[in-house]
Amino acid sequence: MTPVAIVGSGLAGFTVYQALRRGGLEPGQIAVFGPERDPAAVWRRRAEAIRQRAMRSESDGHCGPSSFPGLAFTGARRRRSLRPLVASLADRYHPTVEEFLEHVERRRARSGWDESVVESRVERVRAVDGGFELDGHGAFRHVLVAPGHPGLNLPAELRGDRRAVHAYEPHDYASTVTVVGAGLAAATEWLNALAAGAEVVSVRRREPLRRPLNVPRPYFSRRGLAGFHALGPAERAARLRTLLAPSYPPGRAFDEPLARAAAEGRFRVEAAVDGTEQVICATGFLRGYRHDPLLAALVREHGLETAGAWIVLAPDCTVPALTDDTRTLALAGVPAQWAFPAADTLAGARYAGHRFLARIGSCRTR
Amino acid sequence: MSYTLTGRVSSRLTALLPVLLAACGLAAALHRAWPVELVALMAGVGVLLDVQAWHRLPYQPAWAALPLGAAELGLVTAIVLGAGLHVPFLPALGLFGAGWLASVLLSQAAFPALRPGYAEDGGELGRLGAVGAAGVVLALAGSAATVYARRPPVVHLEAGVHRGPLVITRREVLEGEPGAVVRGGIVIRHDDVRVEDVTVVGGENGITVEGVRGTVLRGVTVSGAKLDGIHVRLADVMIEDCTVDMLGNPLGQGIDISYNMDLGMSRVEGCTVVGGMEGIVTHSSMTDIVDNEVSRTRERGISVTEMSMGTVAENEVRDALGVGLLCNDRSVCTFEHNTVVGTRDDSASGNASRSGYGLLASFQSEAEVEGNELDANPVPMGTVVDSLIRPVE
């Protein structure tokens, strides 16, 4: 039995893979199942669609197994400048998308990722004696499932509307554009459409939150997580809904162009979609395990505990009912938010990777 | 980073361990305890602030190490000054800076690199943290035990007259019982000697301290010396609560501390000096002169001269001849809350700068003054030869 499998070959699975490699596992001991070898393929397409130039994350928003050296350190070395490090001291360093993708490529080449990848989409994970059976690929003692987002979320009232396009799908900009949403993708699209000369209408259900990262910083460490993990299921689900509300970073990069455009009459906020030529839905992704066939089947077939849209996980991202001294089933990426609210970030994937590695290390039968 | 309390404390102590070990080495090399004392103080202040203040910060960006470090430096400095710890300023500042830098580098780079989950664990270091904290405790306990074990032997000098000169050539504490008198002087020729409650009569100098470190003279009484009452050369010294009687000796100084500029601060406090040419004088020295009484000298009362630096505070100088308080020969002095009364005019000597100044800055010296009472002196205060007197900043 090959000891370890990762289901999902995107950035979350890739980041977990880096943690396992740092923990001493060889490429031959890890099998990665996914539809593409390039771990950044899906992310790259989305970033291109919204014309993203810089990362929201900071120096430690990378796929490496430890927060140091971060991308600011690498950037300083490559640019022969202290500026990235100084900016990082004040949490103002945001690597460019190119820098991030180069980093992924370097890690991919160095870590032996391609040796471990099996180009196959796993659609079912089934518990068997001492491990898990993966769709005819055999049994694995320790499995981490990182399936990514289950799909793009298009508001029901706009489905079938020929003007509507999701922000993460390739698109250009018409002369009048409505952007639905209040998160970073929406804010990026406001600026993109304005830069393309469009008149922009922002439609949103709530005023956007302004914060540097997806969730408040203490939730990235045990300091905030300890209290979060102590919450009961109902309170934790409510807290998650609050924490995961759409937000984008504060700062002049957004405020100044929007204020200028508003003064020129090219940017306004409205309550509902009106008669613009194009509607861009920056409404994120479908939420909840029910939208993911693999996770939905996993819950159904094994009777797993759930709370709202989430599978109930232990603080270390493992599925309690399917994890014991001899085997591990863990989640990473967005379905791991029950354990780590910012699970859909690279830091969240790193967290899941470290915990998964610790489980493997403590397993009696490894 | 968002530290947990355990993470803060374990990161701090583990980061301090290499600095503490370096301080132990430095203490061994210098034969001084201050490096270890300072690091122990840094650890105590740091942990106290972690628990009482810094832990309230939900998130600490990397730049916050600067203001937090400055606050800790301020508190450590206040305690050092308030407790009167004998710590040389610049080396101590260097040691603090090294500790701060080590802490920043380790917490920002080395700990995350060594322990991948460092950031998400809130700075907790697991076994490494426990080992680090234990290392700090053991190193401090070992240092304290070493200091305790290396305490100098105590020699009790019985009541009665002992023939001198008494030459001390090893680390020891010489404690005089009431009525113990050494006739012929005491000569100190070893580091870390403490002399307490001994009366010295006669001798070339009453007490000679030359070329040694860490001498403490406490409660000594000196009289009848042929040259100086207490004569310190190339040595650092703490003199407390002494009495020096130089009446009848027109050429010797009551207390003369000279040529120890590179040995850190010396101090004279709580002494009474009567007679002699100058009461208390320093040459090329960094010495604080505090709360002493000097009277009836044949020339200056207290003199800080020959590129010396120091604070002269809360002293009382009476009946000096020519000058009460002098800052001379490119020295930098601070005179605060001294009382100078009844300085006599000596212009008959032909030297105009001896015409009864309460306080004089002379020959390219700088004196800062505050709160001095200069009464019944022919000239309360003045400067000669490119010197400067200004209020304390």
Tens-place pLDDT, residues B27-66? 988 878 899 999 999 999 999 999 999 999 999 999 999 9
- Strand pairing category for B160-163 and B280-283: unpaired
DSSP assignment of B289-356: EES-EEE--SS-SEEEESS-EEEEES-EEES-BSEEEEEESS-EEEEES-EEE-PBP-GGGT-GGGS-
Q: Which CATH superfamily, name and number, covers A156-208+246-281?
A: FAD/NAD(P)-binding domain (3.50.50.60)
- The answer to whether the Cβ–Cβ distance between A68 and B3 falls below 8 Å is no
Q: Using the 8-state DSSP alphabet, how is residue B152 labeled? A: P
Q: Which of A22, A88, A225 sits opposite B62 (nearest CB)?
A: A88
What's the pLDDT score for residue B147?
82
Question: Chain A residue closest to B116 (CA)?
Answer: A66
> What is residue A185's predicted lDDT score, i.e. its pLDDT?
96
Mutation for B interface: A222, A225, A346, A351, most B CBs within 10 A: A222
Kindly tell me the sign of the dihedral angle through the C-alpha atoms of A274, A277, A279, A280. Answer: negative
The span from the CA of B92 to the CA of B100, in Å, is: 12
Assigned token pair, A104: 């992924």
Q: CA of A100: how far to CAs of A35, A273, B120, in Å?
A: 22, 35, 21
Chain A's closest residue to B106, CA to CA, is A68
Measured between CA atoms, how close is B136 to chain A, in angstroms?
25
Task: Tell me if chain A has a CB within 8 Å of the CB of B350.
Answer: no
Q: Is residue A354 a contact partner of residue A264, using CB atoms and an 8 Å limit?
A: no
Is A156-208+246-281 in the same CATH topology as A2-151+286-362? yes
Establish whether the linkage from the previous residue to A27 is cis, with ω within 30° of 0. no
B interface test, pick of A15, A221, A317 with most B CB neighbours within 10 Å: A221
C-beta atoms of A67 and B58 within 8 A = no
Task: Looking at the complex, report in whole angstroms how far the Cα of residue A123 sits from the nearest Cα belonging to chain B.
Answer: 31
Q: List chain B domain ranges.
A: 5-149, 154-391
| Other CB atoms within 10 Å distance of the CB of residue B348 | 8
Nearest to B116 among A22, A91, A217 (CB): A22
Exposed (0-12), middle (13-18) or buried (19+): which is A169, by Cβ within 10 Å? middle
Query: Kind and range of the H or E element at B18?
Result: helix B5-30
d(CA B111, nearest CA chain A) in Å: 9
Residues of chain B with pLDDT under 70: none
| B61 to chain A: closest CA residue | A90
Q: From the list B58, B118, B124, which residue is nearest A218 (CB)? A: B58
Rounded CA separation A131/A307 (Å): 25
Task: Tell me the torsion sign for CA atoms A311, A315, A317, A318.
Answer: negative
> Sign of dihedral through CA atoms A256, A258, A263, A264?
positive
Which residues in chain B have their CB less than 8 angstroms from residue A89's CB? 61-63
Residue of B nearest to A223 (CA): B4
Return the pLDDT at A361: 87
Whole-prediction pTM: 0.76
Q: Nearest residue on chain B to A64, judged by CA atoms?
A: B116
B2 reaches A (C-beta below 8 A) = yes
Which residue, A125, A148, A138, A139, is CA-closest to A321?
Answer: A125
Q: Name chain A contacts of B1, Cβ cutoff 8 Å.
A: 221
List chain B residues with CB under 8 Å of A69: 109, 113
Over its length of 366 residues, how does chain A's per-residue pLDDT go in tens digits? 558 999 999 999 999 999 999 999 999 999 999 999 999 999 999 999 999 999 999 999 999 999 999 999 999 999 899 999 999 999 999 999 999 999 999 999 999 999 999 999 999 999 999 899 998 899 999 999 999 999 999 999 999 999 999 999 999 999 999 999 999 999 999 999 999 999 999 999 888 899 999 999 999 999 999 999 999 999 999 999 999 999 999 999 999 999 999 999 999 999 898 889 999 999 999 999 999 999 999 999 999 999 999 999 999 999 999 999 999 999 999 999 999 999 999 999 999 999 999 999 887 555
The count of C-alpha atoms lying within 13 angstroms of the C-alpha of B71, restricted to the half-sphere facing its C-beta, is 12
| CATH of B154-391 given 2.160.20.10, 3.40.640.10, 3.40.50.740, 3.40.50.970 | 2.160.20.10
First to last CA, chain B: 40
- Residues 35-74, chain B, touching A (beta carbon < 8 A): 58-59, 61-63
HEC string for chain A? CEEEEEECCCHHHHHHHHHHHHCCCCHHHEEEEECCCCCCHHHHHHHHHCCCCECCCCCCCCCCCCCCCCHHHHHHHHHCCCHHHHHHHCCCCCCEHHHHHHHHHHHHHHHCHHHHEEECCCCCEEEECCEEEECCCCEEEEEEECCCCCCECCCHHHCCCCCEEECCCCCCCCCEEEEECCCHHHHHHHHHHHHCCCEEEEECCCCCEECCCCCCHHHHCHHHHHHHHHCCHHHHHHHHHHHCCCEECCCHHHHHHHHHHHHCCCEEEECCCCCCCEEEECCCECCCHHHCHHHHHHHHHHCCCEECCEECCCCCCECHHHCCCCCEEEECCHHHCCCCCCCCCHHHHHHHHHHHHHHHHHCCCC
> Which among B61, B117, B123 has CB closest to A91?
B61
The edge-to-edge listing of strands for the beta sheet with A278-281 is A164-166, A278-281, A176-180, A199-203, A267-270
Question: Kind and range of the H or E element at B9?
Answer: helix B5-30
The chain A residues in contact with chain B (CB within 8 A) are 19, 22, 60, 65-69, 88-91, 216-218, 220-226, 347, 350-351, 354
Candidate from A69, A88, A217 with C-beta closest to B2: A217
Does the distance separating the beta carbons of B7 and A89 come in below 8 Å?
no
Backbone CA torsion sign across A29, A30, A35, A36 = negative
Domain limits, chain A = 2-151+286-362, 156-208+246-281
pLDDT at position A206 is 85
Q: Do B2 and A218 touch (CB under 8 A)?
A: yes
The chain A residue lying nearest B114, using CA atoms, is: A66
Nearest to A66 among B59, B116, B122 (CB): B116
Q: What is the CATH number of domain A2-151+286-362?
A: 3.50.50.60
Which chain A positions have a beta carbon within 8 Å of B123's beta carbon?
221
